[in-house]
A = this chain, B = another copy of it.
Amino acid sequence: MHESHKLTRHPPGTAPGTLVPPENALPTEIQAMAYDGERLIEETVVTPEDARALADHWEHVWINVDGLASKDIIERFGKLFGLHALALEDVLNPYQRPKAEEYDSVSFIVTHMVRIENGRLVIEQLNMFLGRNFILTFQDKPGDCFGPIRDRIRKGAGRLIRTGGADYLAYALLDAVVDSYFPVLEQYGEWIDRLEDEVIGQANRKTIERIHHIRRKLSRMRHAVWPMREAINHFARLPCVTESTRLYVRDCHDHLIQILDLLEADGERASSLVEVYLSSVSNRLNEVMKVLTIITTIFIPLSFIAGIYGMNFDHMPELHWRYGYPAVLALMAAIAIALVIYFHRRGWIEWRK
């Protein structure tokens, strides 16, 4: 349940560009797709050198690296593809802020993918290097939202995805990353719906924790999405991005804005949940107090009357009257009825159906 960010960083003062794989990093696996408009090969395991060879001989190459345990392989990638040491350091330090950076020949783009796993939000960093004719993606662990893109490449002979160049593929990946937020937001929308019901019906101390959990997650996504806007804008202005791709990136940017709108709207709804919750708590307190007050207010005067006639004075004429007892009972009943009518008039007692 704790949210605190475990930052496995080097101690302050370490030389920049020092590569240290994160704790619990998964073993490194490499897949490559090399294609042009007509041909396509797909290899599941390659060394960085093999990847380089593909990039030298094919028109377009996409190399995806899952798992960051092997510092050696990542360094060799760095040397073979001309990746800057600072960018490689960012790859190994998770929780980078989304950004797009230009280095000499290769651009570096960091974004965050989201998905729901076992009812929990998972945010995974996607590191992408965009070269003249290659895309290099690094991910913490296997599993991503690029399945449909792989299928489009496989089946897309002659289509834009095969002919559009590295920049178009980069756009397609970014678009998939951005679109991965929509199903997650839909899920959150449903959770908020359910909390809205709960807040009014049977709210308890767990409810407020759940609301704050949702709010924190929405806030985290907002923190992930906000800098992605700038990153996508920056990406669109990279010299290696063609004019026609730029039109698509604008569309992707629109989606991002829409996600921000949805996040904001969900955030507002979650905030108003807190208010509704608090006011429902006060309402219940009010109700409890009313019951207490009604019961007390009705019985205290009656008990007092009973107390009077329980006194042991020698001279209490009422005690010796023939109908003293029923008279007192009648008096009590009258008082009780009068009070009930009074409370009813003030709206404190409502006859529920």
Contact = CB atoms under 8 A, between A and B. Distances in A.
A186 interface: yes
B272 A212 contact: yes
A344 interface: no
A300 B300 contact: yes
B309 A309 contact: no
Contact of A288 (B89, B190, B289, B307): B289
Contacts of A272: 212, 215-216
Interface in A299-349: 299-304, 306-316, 318-325, 328-329, 347-348
Nearest to A285: B286
Contact of A307 (B149, B183, B307): B307
A119 interface: no
- Per DSSP, chain A at the interface is helix
A190 B4 contact: yes
A296 B286 CA distance: 16
A68 interface: no
Interface in A196-242: 196, 200, 202, 205, 208-209, 212, 215-216, 219-220, 223, 227
A13 B145 contact: yes
B289 A292 contact: yes
Contact of A275 (B9, B16, B186, B274): B274
A133 interface: no
Interface of A: 1-7, 9-16, 84, 86, 89-90, 95-97, 99, 101, 103, 145-149, 152, 159-161, 172, 175-180, 182-183, 185-186, 189-190, 192-193, 196, 200, 202, 205, 208-209, 212, 215-216, 219-220, 223, 227, 247-248, 250-251, 254, 257-258, 261-262, 264-265, 268-269, 272, 274-286, 288-293, 295-297, 299-304, 306-316, 318-325, 328-329, 347-348
Among all A-B residue pairs, the 6 with the closest Cβ atoms: A4-B189, A13-B148, A306-B307, A12-B179, A309-B311, A13-B176
11 contacts: A1-B196, A13-B145, A16-B248, A86-B251, A274-B279, A285-B289, A288-B348, A292-B292, A296-B300, A299-B303, A309-B313
